[in-house]
Amino acid sequence: MNSITSFCRIRNNRFTTEQLVIEHPAASKDEFSIGLYERLQLNYPKFYKMDQQCRLGYIASELVLKGVDVSAYADSFSLVLSNADGSLDTDLRFQQSISSVASPSLFVYTLPSMVAGEICIRHKIKGENAFFVTPSFNAELLIEYVDSLLAGPGDHACLAGWVNVLDAQHDILLYLVENRRVNGSRAHNMNELNKLYGQ
């Protein structure tokens, strides 16, 4: 049976994991992501070059994968993400930059899958990865797709979830699914996933 062994929820200036809840009010989402990064004492030089979606996806992945040896899974560690707004937050910033000098640093983030790429590079994830754009959080899609990746012989794992950033709103749920049962883990099913998303 596939199990959710770790998760991170970021929404409404609140950061939640199994062990940690942080309320971090901020005047802007830039201040929120940087404040969270500093408060969690993370150290990744590329962080300040990323767009907001990548920053928050990176922060969540750091906490979800803390203590996980991704390399032990070789090519059997996958990444599946989704959101509703694609890269619209960065697209709008890039559009504004065109009025003076188009910003190449923003342009490179005008694909929604950039957050997946940043997470894969940081954690050396070499398995399959996918990014879906859906009208709203779709637990059924994530469960079906992730479970299909985890089927078959051997140990498999997948970092999955929802990473949506637009204007001042940030709505992130990342979770780790493994094809084994771990003490204290949750079943990878609609009920449990919707509960995590509702936090």
pLDDT, tens digit, 9 for 90 and up, residues 58-109: 999 999 999 999 999 989 999 999 999 887 666 667 667 677 766 666 656 6
Cβ atoms < 10 Å from Cβ of 48: 10
Answer left, alpha or beta for residue 3, where phi above 0 means left and psi between -120 and 50 means alpha. beta
Please tell me whether the overall predicted TM-score, pTM, comes out greater than 0.85 for this model: yes
Where do the domains of the chain lie? 3-197
| C-alpha dihedral, 6 to 132 to 125 to 139, nearest 10° | 20
| DSSP state, residue 94 | H
pLDDT, tens digit, 9 for 90 and up, residues 143-154: 999 999 999 888
CATH 3.30.530.20 fits 3-197, yes or no: no
Percentage of the residues of the chain whose pLDDT score is greater than 70:
87
User: Which of the four pLDDT bands, split at 50, 70 and 90, describes residue 168?
Assistant: confident
Q: What is the pLDDT of residue 167?
A: 80
Q: What is the pLDDT of residue 43?
A: 92
pLDDT, tens digit, 9 for 90 and up, residues 106-147: 656 667 888 999 999 999 999 999 999 999 999 999 999 999
Q: What is the pLDDT of residue 31?
A: 78
